[in-house]
Copies of this chain bind each other. A is one copy, B any other.
Amino acid sequence: MTGIQEIARATGLSKSTVSRALRGLPSVSETTTRSVQRTAERLGYIPSSSAAGLATGRTRAIGVLVPVIDRWFYVKVLEGIDAQLRAAGYDLILYNLGGRGGDRERVFHRSILRKRVDALVVLCLVFDPGEREQLQAMEYPVIVVGGPGPGVRHMGIDDRKAGFAATSHLIELGHTAIAHIGGEDESGLNAAVPLERREGFIAALAAARIEARDEWIVNGGFVFEGGYRAMKELLSKPGPRPTAVFAASDEMAFGALAAIAQEGLSVPGDISVIGVDGHQNGEVLGLTTIRQNPYQQGVDATRVLLAELEGRGHTESFEPAPFDLVRRRSTGAPRPLDPEDSLDRVR
Chain A residues close to B by CB (< 8 Å): 44, 46-51, 53-54, 59, 61, 69-70, 75-76, 78-79, 82-83, 86, 89, 91-96, 98, 103, 106-107, 110-111, 113-116, 137-138, 224-225, 228, 255, 258, 261, 280-281, 283-285
* A137 surroundings in chain B (CB, below 8 A): 44
* A225 surroundings in chain B (CB, below 8 A): 280-281, 283-284
Tell me the dominant secondary structure on chain A's binding face. Answer: helix
**Minimal Cβ-Cβ distance residue in B for A54:** B50
* A89 surroundings in chain B (CB, below 8 A): 110
A114 contacts which of B48, B76, B83, B116 (Cβ < 8 Å)? Answer: B48
Nearest CB of B to A227, in Å: 9
Nearest CB of B to A328, in Å: 13
Are A79 and B70 in touch, CB under 8 angstroms? yes
Are B59 and A70 in touch, CB under 8 angstroms? no
Listed from nearest, the 4 A-B pairs whose CB atoms lie closest are: A50-B53, A50-B54, A82-B96, A94-B94
Known A49-B114, A76-B70, A225-B280; judge A61-B98 contact (CB<8 A): no
Nearest CB of B to A230, in Å: 12
Are A93 and B91 in touch, CB under 8 angstroms? yes
Nearest CB of B to A327, in Å: 18
Are B114 and A86 in touch, CB under 8 angstroms? no
Nearest CB of B to A185, in Å: 22
Are B79 and A98 in touch, CB under 8 angstroms? yes
* A83 surroundings in chain B (CB, below 8 A): 98
Report copies per complex.
2
Nearest CB of B to A112, in Å: 9
Nearest CB of B to A333, in Å: 22
Known A114-B49, A258-B284; judge A92-B93 contact (CB<8 A): yes
**Minimal Cβ-Cβ distance residue in B for A254:** B281
Known A48-B115, A93-B61, A93-B93; judge A284-B75 contact (CB<8 A): no
* A70 surroundings in chain B (CB, below 8 A): 75-76, 79
Are A54 and B48 in touch, CB under 8 angstroms? yes
Nearest CB of B to A43, in Å: 12
Nearest CB of B to A295, in Å: 10
**Minimal Cβ-Cβ distance residue in B for A115:** B48
* A114 surroundings in chain B (CB, below 8 A): 46-49
* A283 surroundings in chain B (CB, below 8 A): 225
Could you write out 26 A-B pairs with CB less than 8 Å apart? A46-B113, A48-B54, A49-B50, A49-B116, A50-B50, A50-B54, A50-B59, A53-B53, A61-B93, A69-B75, A69-B82, A75-B75, A79-B98, A82-B94, A83-B98, A89-B110, A91-B93, A91-B95, A93-B93, A224-B280, A224-B281, A224-B284, A225-B280, A225-B281, A225-B284, A258-B285
Are A284 and B228 in touch, CB under 8 angstroms? yes
CA distance A76 to B75 in the complex (A): 12
Nearest CB of B to A155, in Å: 20
Nearest CB of B to A33, in Å: 18
**Minimal Cβ-Cβ distance residue in B for A224:** B281
CA distance A51 to B50 in the complex (A): 7
CA distance A78 to B49 in the complex (A): 24
* A75 surroundings in chain B (CB, below 8 A): 69-70, 75
Nearest CB of B to A128, in Å: 18
